[in-house]
Amino acid sequence: MKEALIDRTISVTIHDTPIPTPEANQVLIRVVVSGSNPKDWKLPKLAASDEPPKNQGDDIAGYVESVGPEVTAFKKGDKVAAFHQINTPHGSYAEYAIAWEHTTFHVPERTSFEEAATLPLASMTAALGMYQWLELPLPWNPALKQIPLVVYGGATAVGAFAIKFAMLSNIHPIIAVAGKGIPFVETLLDKSKGDIVLDYREGDTVLRQKIKQAAGGQQILYAYDAVSEKGSYENIFAVLDKGGIFTHVLPISAHKPDGIEGRFTYVSSVHVAHKGHQLGDPDFGAALFHFMGRGLAKGWFKGHPYEVRKGGLNGVEGLLKDLEAGKASAVKYVVRIGDTPGLKG
């Protein structure tokens, strides 16, 4: 099979490699569309000088090709999307990819592979942050009173999915922060419930004042930082009340103010059970991925806007460099594997 490998300079080479075999609880998927994420260029740059290039793709959409002997929920031919475990072999920039059963979910016929490929990593990162770390009300047990929530980076895929989950959980007012993606974010909000999107480009002082005003005199105790750089968490520190908690998607080095708790939402935790607990993040992941698949089928949950990049796997290098340059706003780049020159069949 063809597989795209990414080195420390974000250069991509296409290799012929063997089709992998799924382990006991794994699913082998014939990839139709692969999504992309900023980590796909960030992780290679952090690699050791002697580390070989890797397939960094983690967003899979395609058909089940085969399953491990302990898999019960999927069979050959099922239309699925899946989250590939970060930093493991057999990612989504290939003709075939491997995912665990608990990070795979059925995709309805009404949903395109392109839309499905925008979901796995970003939506689960949002869900983990919202419900496992911030411990906000789940959609099937929605909030009964107002809970102001700041979502910093509302036009990012993670931020947009956090807003979508907040809407399902009846969490309002949502105080979103964005820049050139503001028109997109506005389509996700309910202004009648106090939701608002604010422009960080007005400057930190103005932004902080407007966030406080948007809370309408209520305490701000929850924030989702989907940016986690360029001053985002400093602004969150300035608006969270004592006892507040925020979750961030990148490690941060700044000292948190007393009385403010920060939790790092690392999506690969969906593969790790909590010590001392029978049920942990893998079970949460299985439940939420199934929930999202149901939402796609019923029409009350949707993926992120996307742009198909030309050339299939040959287009991966260009999209990664565009992600690095910050060109993507309110959009996910995806590639159709079948567009790769030289593929058989």
pLDDT at 277 over 60: no
Residue 251, SS3 per DSSP: coil
Residues across the chain = 345
Residue where the block lists tokens 């992120």: 304
- Please compute the mean of the pLDDT values over residues 322-328 and round it to a whole number: 94
Q: Output the CA–CA distances (angstroms, integers) from residue 180 to 100, 197, 234, 243, in the order listed.
A: 36, 11, 21, 32
The mean pLDDT of 256-269, rounded to a whole number, is: 87
| Over residues 83-88, mean pLDDT | 95
Two tokens, residue 332: 């996910």
Domains of the chain, each with CATH number or no CATH? 2-119+280-339 (3.90.180.10), 123-270 (3.40.50.720)
Q: What is the pTM of this model?
A: 0.95
Reported as a single tens digit per residue, the pLDDT across 234-247 is: 999 999 999 999 99
Inform me whether the pLDDT recorded for 275 exceeds 50.
Answer: no
Q: Tell me what pLDDT residue 64 has.
A: 98
- Mean of the per-residue pLDDT values of the chain: 94
> What secondary structure letter does DSSP report for 133?
I
Q: Can you read off the two tokens belonging to residue 290?
A: 């199934």
Distance in angstroms (rounded) separating the CA atoms of residues 312 and 342:
11
The pLDDT tens digits of the residues spanning 90-140 come to: 999 999 999 999 999 999 999 999 999 999 999 999 999 999 999 999 999
- Grouping H, G, I as helix, E, B as strand and the rest as coil, residue 203 is coil
